[in-house]
Structure 1
């Protein structure tokens, strides 16, 4: 207990991660209730993108990618941590609001043979656990962009060129995986990019001067 108390005193800013409970509760509610009479997200480009089960690898790596990025900044830089969380959670909330009032989903998931290979089996399992609804904008795409922005903007990671390059490659692979697995329409990804562009300027500001950084550091303690 003393160890936990000491951890919470040192990293009291961990509290903001409790937002995850709000998000999961809201999202699960939408998954249960948005099951029919929803707008199908589809554009012509979707028909030209082939299904590729191997993209399940970067798609699942998203969970680790975002989690590790959050934890890294939680333990190393409080200011970057708050910025990342504000970026991620703002977009996730907007996505939930959109899906609440604009019911949406896809209808182009292919029929799969789970016995083909381990990757197809994994995609089949994903299809069973994740409904084809509440897809616009894509949180997978949005959070991947947010994690990469935080890594690129980090002063402590600027000297780690391979980390930044690797992050960019993984972010791109995750974004592509959403359409190659037929989890999302291209328009879902475009919506996420637009949302990320707008929220970037809100969270990271126009230049963010040294004086502003000092003020923020004082506020955050």
Structure 2
């Protein structure tokens, strides 16, 4: 029991992860209620991008990429952890607010034959569990960019070019997967990119070293 108390005291900053109790119910509510009369996010470029079921691999890898990096920083660097939390959770909240007042969705999804291969079956399962609404801006894209920034800005990876390159490739693959799987329009991707640029200046560019915790607390309070 003493070890458990010591563990939670040492990593008491994990309380920020309780944001999930705000995000998930809110997101699920939108998924249930935004079912019609929503704005279609569709650009001409979307029609030129072919569907490719193999992109389900990086799309699903997103969960490990983002969550794994966040947990790594939670155990290894409070400063990077606070900054990453501030970046991700602020953008996710903004996205929920946008979807609450600006109901949006896509009309891009093709008919999937789950018998074609395991990747098509996975995409078909994704379509069944995830609606085509609440897509702008893309959280998949935004959180991937945020994770890449966190890795590149961390002193833990200062001289780890291979890790940074891998994170960059993973981020690019995830962003591409959102449009090749027809989960998002390029408009959603662009919106996420713009939001990421704005949040970067707030969380990283204008925050001197050692102030990550203060920034996170101000944003998340």
Q: TM-score, normalised by structure 2?
A: 0.94
Find the aligned partners of 1:134 and 1:219 in 2 and give their Cα distance.
28
Which residue is 2:175 aligned to? 175
How many corresponding residue pairs? 216
Structure 2 residue ranges without an equivalent (≥5): 217-221
Q: Shift of residue 213 of structure 1?
A: 2.7
Find the aligned partners of 2:215 and 2:105 in 1 and give their Cα distance.
41
Pair 1:213-2:213 in alignment: no
Which residue is 1:113 aligned to? 113
Equivalent residue runs for 1:1-221 within 5 Å? 1-206=1-206, 208=207, 212-214=208-210
Q: Shift of residue 215 of structure 1?
A: 5.7
Find the aligned partners of 2:81 and 2:40 in 1 and give their Cα distance.
36
Give a deviation string over 1:127-181, Cα, whole Å, max 9, x none: 0000000000000000000000000001111221111100000000000000000
Greater shift, 78-87 or 152-161, is seen at 152-161
Q: TM-score, normalised by structure 1?
A: 0.94
Find the aligned partners of 2:212 and 2:66 in 1 and give their Cα distance.
24
Find the aligned partners of 1:217 and 1:134 in 2 and give their Cα distance.
30
Partner-residue secondary structure (3-state), 1:156: helix
Partner-residue secondary structure (3-state), 2:115: coil
Q: CA RMSD in A?
A: 1.6
Which residue is 2:219 aligned to? none
Write out the 4+ residue segments of structure 1 that deviate beyond 3 Å after TM superposition.
Answer: 214-220
Q: Shift of residue 205 of structure 1?
A: 2.6
CA distance 1:219–1:38, shift in 2 (3 Å): closer
CA distance 1:27–1:162, shift in 2 (3 Å): same
Give a deviation string over 1:159-211, Cα, whole Å, max 9, x none: 211111000000000000000000000000000000000010000133x4xxx
CA distance 1:130–1:155, shift in 2 (3 Å): same
